Structure 1
């Protein structure tokens, strides 16, 4: 039995009070004995493994607010868990979750020892971090009396506890570095925006010198032109209609969908998913009626990329605007398509590519309706933000492929 499994077993059985600390060890009743500082198989989001001491102290104080828990842990000189690990860790230890991606086996560590004797020292408090100060001298005297070699250095180390570790040093109380991330992201957006505008200005100048109103490179041979710096795309849609202007992407206006007009720019341009409620609080002023997005992480530096308008009010579109709609992020509800100028879902998703964004661990029921439609289901993780870029790239790839197919019809 490894220490993580033993701790989870005792937590589910509500027998945490039977775990007693004796010197530098935890004794699980009469069953197992583990070193307090032994690493468990539970890895934090930061990459390090939590010790048995850290996990036991947390689960015994899980009802405390995180700030109160941190203060209590520091008072006991015990390393703490991070806030993002708090809920998933508790759910796993209490049996609400049967498994977790944070658990990594095998992990080199000491094997548990069978504990044939009852605990030598009772708990001094509700946290079961009892001291066995009287037990250590007694064991040492017995060893000396029997003529055995005493490893004094080992005895000293057994009573030691680390005051600080790499994680606790990096943690700053009452400080939130999210603002730093937001500021750096905004600076990067401004830099990319200036570079994009510079490229557009250069193309406009070139177009005027060549005496052409519409010239450039597009998706698979699309005609891409620039008029006063704004790209213009000519798309041939089914039925012989031709839509000229910036292509349009529609998103739901409802907050219960993952992609909205608030966070679509960060997701499609930077490959980062920021929840709508967070972005809405960050934005100053009223909700924008239109957002311009452009693929920024293409591997082809010489490629001229098309800009897209993102809107969330289909009722405000004119008939000519509908000819420019190329994509829609679906909510999964029938009423989203009310009063659209199409007869049914077949016609909608034949002329417009549909995307449905979901969290990868959502229930199958959440996508039950959209699976009946001709839409692309894109999954992202709730916590692993480094995977957002791949999801955004999949949207771009499918969108570009769709636009190319439409332009050839």
Structure 2
């Protein structure tokens, strides 16, 4: 298969889905032995018949970061380190860059921002079919050929998923062959215009009276706003381009005394059941969960990103923060955009979760109604006689927290296809 016909990003995703091996090698020979990543020049994808498909490890992919395509080595390295915390991933990438320089290579590993890394891993493992950072496949022939080839070369012998160009959905490789023979229908432009160019300039003359009335109405509204002493708002374009709705972010407390950490927050907010937090120093410090918010978008769930640290935050990420979990310790906010509690909780919903019957920290009391104060039953080992194993109150507390978050999101202007309008 020619290199131009290979989609490295799709090859890697299909290899992960099929459970086949991906071997870094120094040459493109099919019998080449595995080599450390700094010395590797190719990634070889195992096929069902024992053959391998070599792909240059420096090949660019459709994943775009800062308007530049990311190479296959960086994608593969991010997947290998998907389970580690963001600071450990950055340290490992720095070490790999040093090793690449030692062997005389000018290549470097791209360090993904935490949102980019989350989107990439979610897409590679098949949990998501879209990513704002991945460009669509170039053409039906290229993507179809790459999908069919990659799907037919799996070690399991079963049909591996393949990609239908322009649709982003994984399909059987045999269907990809059938789809390649489809007769392509035209889009709405070709249907309206046909095979001959049509001059619609006369429509402008017909629309001119209506446009002049609209402009006059806008001018009157601006004048009235000026008389009232209000600043006129900027007018929107007639056909604004629909933007992708951003994912809301929930910040967790990094304090070791916090009852909810990345190791147990998902089971609490999704299943309504508290389990003790474990030491997650070696685990990922961000995760995501889905929840349908009927008042914002009843047709599709929102994906919430939960993260403990703000090291990889960009300025625009703060517009997406919808809640902050706290233990009442102000040092948590030192690296935040709003680093004082009084300022922070004017913009973001605060949440404190403590044991039922224990005193509330003084900091939480001082911050007032802007911080939701929730208490849960103390944890007891189910093996202890008389222990409460039902924990039915946990779901009630979890729903109270979601109610506060969703109320805050509505106040901030979250809509079906847009994020917050008030910060």
TM over 0.5: no
TM-score by length of 2: 0.36
The higher radius of gyration belongs to: 1
Report the TM-score when normalising by structure 1: 0.37
